[in-house]
Amino acid sequence: MPVLSPHLLSNHRELRLAHLALGFISMGYVWQEGQHAPAQSLPKALAWPYWLVSRRLGLPPILTYADCVLANWKLKDPRGKMEVGNVDVIFSFPGAESCRGFFIVSLLVEMAASSGITGALQVMHAMKVSDLIGIQKGLISVTQSLKKMRENFTLMHNHVEPDTFHGTVRTFVSGWRDNPAIPRGLLYEGVSNEPIFLSGGSAAQSSAIQCFDTLLGVQHDNESGAFLTRMRDYMPPAHRQLIETLSVCPSLREFILSSSSTDLRQAYNSCVSALVDLRNYHLSAVAKYIIVPGGYARSMGCPLRGVDTALNSIGTSGTKHMVFLKSVRDTTQKALIS
């Protein structure tokens, strides 16, 4: 395969599509033999153009959540609605309908967050002028958005098989940082003489969820907070900038604590509760799609080819998923105002 030059890519959409394509090819190359025998290096024909495209986008040279979820879709009927039956992926991995369903349902969860992002900005603008009604309306928008995200999340059960997700799909979205299957990182030929360590795509890279955390003043503990901050490096720069801008704005939680408005406090608590519910649902999904099939694989005496036993206790981004998810759920709960 020739070493392609990305210099003819002239706009953001072309660069994002190139990053998406190179990401899927690279993941397929690294994990084609399953998690028991991953590649230790990425050939220059992939590594060099991937590195150049990534530098121009401000993204790392690995398949991110922003790639496989936010950029990996097309409408079957351009005039139709944004719903499961009318959306298809651009690229996919082995796993057939379960792989397609995982990416599309994740996309619909993110789509439901869009009105919440608008609501968050409405809250911040209203705070500047102490517009209590504006703050309340913005918080109601965020709450409705979080509830719609959870509702869309339930579609996962109709479109993704637990065994296929656990045994096949997860492998192909796994990274090479804190991953026992590839502990020494990945060598990018023609880019670096030393292996590079990068996390795989995960929901921890969702810009929307981190925006809501920041808006509501959710303070995650040191380890979980540091991990979520590191995941911002895997977000598009504009998304990362929005989160950082929200983080330096006056504290919404402190504003509400200093206010005598019970309506405002109730609107805030409803918003936090909706985020807790979403995180609880995420925990139940992890149990169904990772913990249960992982336990079954162990009981059957695996590993077999393609069965993802190394990732039974850690997520695709390298965290101990249940510990991490319970931690962020609990800290979200603590944000409630009594």
The answer to whether 110 and 73 have CB atoms below 8 angstroms apart is: no
Q: Which residues are annotated as a binding site?
A: 282
Tokens of 78: 């351009």
Three-state DSSP class for residue 188: strand
Per the annotation, where are the binding residues for heme b? 282
Alpha helices in the chain (DSSP H): 12-31, 44-57, 65, 96-112, 114-128, 132-153, 156-159, 162-164, 170-172, 207-216, 222-231, 237-247, 252-257, 262-286, 292-299, 321-334
Distant-in-sequence, close-in-space partners of 312: CB < 8 Å, separation ≥ 6 = 290, 291, 294, 295, 297, 298
Torsion region of 177: left, alpha or beta (phi above 0 gives left; psi -120 to 50 gives alpha): beta
**CA 301/CA 294 separation, integer angstroms:** 11
